[in-house]
Amino acid sequence: MNRKSFEKFELSSEKEKELWKDSLVIFDTSALIDFYSYPKETRQDIFNNIFPELKDRLWIPSHVQFEYLKNRKGIIEKPITENYNPIKEEKLKDLILAKSQILKISKEIKEETLKPEKHPFLPQESIDEFILFAKEIDEKIIKFDKDIKIEITKQETEIKSLNDDDTILKAFENNLKVGEELTHTEIMEIVKEGKLRYEFKIPPGYEDEKVKIGTQIFGDLIVWKQILSYSKEQNKNVIFICNDLKIDWCYKDKKTRNRIQSPRNELIKEFRDNNKKEFWMYSQSQFIYTAKKLLKIDFEDAKIKEISNVISNRNKGELIYECELCGNETIIPEENLNYEFECIESTERQMGTENHHKMEESLKCAYCRTSTDLVYEIWEYPQYTFNSDRISIENAKILKKPDFLSIFWDNHLDIPDEDMFRDR
């Protein structure tokens, strides 16, 4: 047995340093689109500090350009509708309602307990003191509501300005080389191969078979074929930046949702067999951190964390289950689950402590209102090391589930946040 035969699927520190010397740096559509979700200063630091260090090595396939330009206008105002509108239209309104209720109820208590000749009668000193406090809170909340809306308006104005002066698009035009567009005949050849690959779940792109139509089903495979062709022509290794962390491209780190552990082994082998070169993948936050480390670039960890948060939000999941009683599907966004894990058992074993954690969630069918209990359990042994997990649900069938394991690690590991994008 030759243990070194597996080294091609792994990235050592030495191999990584060599990879960064002159590799092509190629962006997926997701990595380009997410620039619109980064704070202005963060993306400007990438354009000013990272891109110049990689001059003439930045490249995108023509299909990535097509997908980016097709989606760009719809993406520009997405942070407003998805991030800022919920704060204005839901959270701030709830806050104003809550402060009104506090003042209203405290005054009602005063009125009901004011007369000494009948019950209920209470001393008024503490009540008056609380009403005074409630009025102060009322004023602070009104000011807070006003100040937050002013700041939101500033952010929205900056976002909307990209419609007229898209500095992100200009930066891409100035820095990214673009590959040649494929002919229809070439695309149809990829489609033929894609049908066979997808039948046997050979990456990349087979997950798109469920959600896309036409040749767009094979969009990821088209991108992959263009990467293979161009890197072979240039005789270069490839670093591929992708924020859409799907199983048909990469293995995700089990302890976080925003970090790539490695590309799929099939892709590494196909690239080596085709080009006799190396292929590796990073999420944008991993890429920036590694650039900072290896290229000696000044880039704040807090800004890398901002990028990491955007990637986490992109890769959030949802729970979908089919009710056994009515047969309908209920969809619950990941953020609506509580994720309150409880350690229900700890046992000392030879290698340390084995901990058994449990999360329970009470759910109701969106159609027939049948109650069901979801239970997710995880065992770590030794501590901070995944051993096994189990999920069960009553009166229903799980069709899709969030990445419970990654969510557990996000909430459980006592590690500084910035380390979550550093270690692989």
What is the helix (H) or strand (E) element at residue 390, kind and residue range?
A: strand 386-393
Per-residue pLDDT of the chain (424 residues; tens, 9 = 90+): 777 778 788 888 999 999 999 999 999 999 999 999 999 999 999 999 999 999 999 999 999 999 999 999 888 888 888 788 888 888 899 899 888 898 889 889 988 888 888 888 888 888 899 999 989 999 999 999 999 999 999 989 988 888 888 999 999 999 999 999 999 999 999 999 999 999 999 999 998 887 788 999 999 999 999 999 999 999 999 999 999 998 899 988 766 666 899 999 999 999 999 999 999 999 999 999 999 999 999 999 999 999 998 998 787 778 899 999 999 888 888 778 888 899 999 999 988 899 999 999 999 998 898 999 999 999 999 887 888 899 999 999 998 888 787 778 766 654 434 344 444 4
Minimal CA–CA distance to 257: which of 383, 421, 83?
A: 421
Residue 424's pLDDT is what?
42
Relative to beta strand 250-252, strand 352-364 is unpaired
Phi, psi of 400 (to 5 degrees): -155, 140
Question: Among residues 296, 283, 294, 260, which one has the least CA distance to residue 22?
Answer: 294
Delimit the domains of the chain by residue range. 3-61+179-313, 78-169, 317-412
pTM (2 d.p.) = 0.70
Which residues touch 5 (CB under 8 Å, ≥6 apart)? Answer: none
CA distance 381 to 94: 43
- Please tell me the distance from the alpha carbon of residue 243 to that of residue 18, in angstroms, as a whole number: 23
* pLDDT at site 6: 81
Q: What percent helix, strand, coil does the chain show, rounded to 5?
A: 55, 20, 25
What residues have CB less than 8 Å from 61, skipping those under 6 apart?
Answer: 26, 178, 179, 222, 223, 226, 227, 230
Task: State the alpha helices, DSSP H only, in 9-91.
Answer: 13-22, 29-33, 40-45, 62-76, 78-79, 85-86
pLDDT tens-digit map of 241-267: 999 998 899 988 766 666 899 999 999
Identity (one letter) of the amino acid at 198?
Answer: Y
Contact 359, 339 (CB under 8 A): yes
